[in-house]
Chains A and B, each alone.
Chain A
């Protein structure tokens, strides 16, 4: 069964404390692994798409990496404004966009 699993469910960091969020996937034939950010009371907002193992993309303090089984979202020296839920997703074998349950990231000043 096509599945996307994210860990941890929640992560609390001190401002400036770097860490990583994990997204593991089980789909046959990866056609893209993407990351979204969701702020409270709002819809998800697109961040990146990664297409092949070894690919990396960066945006400000965020860097996404991809292997054959998982993706990581590395956050370097985070600030309180980086607090949000981060969702990863991919295409299912039926070509539908499916998402993991997300990681709630909280950055304390």
Chain B
């Protein structure tokens, strides 16, 4: 298996632009998580899905952030409009079952908002 695949690896954009991050989870995994990592705040859970349904989005910082999972093999995290404080590494992770702390992370998207 290729593991969790994220794209793009790097994204540089200007403040106010829309940013879309993409994730392909491991086939057969029912849970998908979006995390954000910064030096100041560490690894923060933004939202997670079970069987394509959003379960908990309480970590999404503002209405500028939205996430979708149209099918079992694809998810997006969108920021519109983007701001410099959104600069971070965004990780997608998937797991096979509930209460399974063995998450498989992608390589992340390094986002820089200028």
Contacts and interface: CB of A to CB of B under 8 A. Distances in A.
Interface of A: 31-32, 34, 41-46, 49, 87, 89, 91, 94-102
B58 to A, nearest CB: 8
A97 to B, nearest CB: 6
Counting from the closest, the 9 A-B pairs by CB-CB distance are A43-B105, A101-B42, A99-B43, A34-B101, A46-B102, A44-B105, A43-B91, A96-B45, A43-B106
A71 B64 CA distance: 37
A8 to B, nearest CB: 15
B103 A97 contact: yes
Contacts of B104: 46
A87 B91 CA distance: 15
Which of B4, B48, B99 counts the most A-chain CB atoms under 10 A from its CB?
Answer: B99
Given A99-B43, A100-B42, A43 B107 contact: yes
A85 B61 CA distance: 25
Contact of B42 (A32, A41, A46, A102): A102
Given A41-B107, A94-B56, A96-B56, A46 B43 contact: no
B2 to A, nearest CB: 13
A87 B45 CA distance: 14
A34 B56 CA distance: 21
Contacts of B106: 43
Chain A interface SS verdict (over half): loop
Contacts of A46: 101-104
Contacts of A91: 99, 101
Contacts of A94: 56, 58
Interface in B28-44: 33, 41-43
Given A43-B4, A43-B91, A102-B42, A97 B101 contact: yes
Interface in B77-101: 91, 93, 99, 101
A97 B93 CA distance: 12
Nearest to A49: B101
Given A97-B101, A102-B43, 15 more contacts: A41-B107, A43-B93, A43-B107, A43-B108, A44-B103, A45-B105, A46-B104, A49-B101, A89-B43, A89-B101, A91-B101, A94-B56, A99-B42, A100-B42, A102-B42
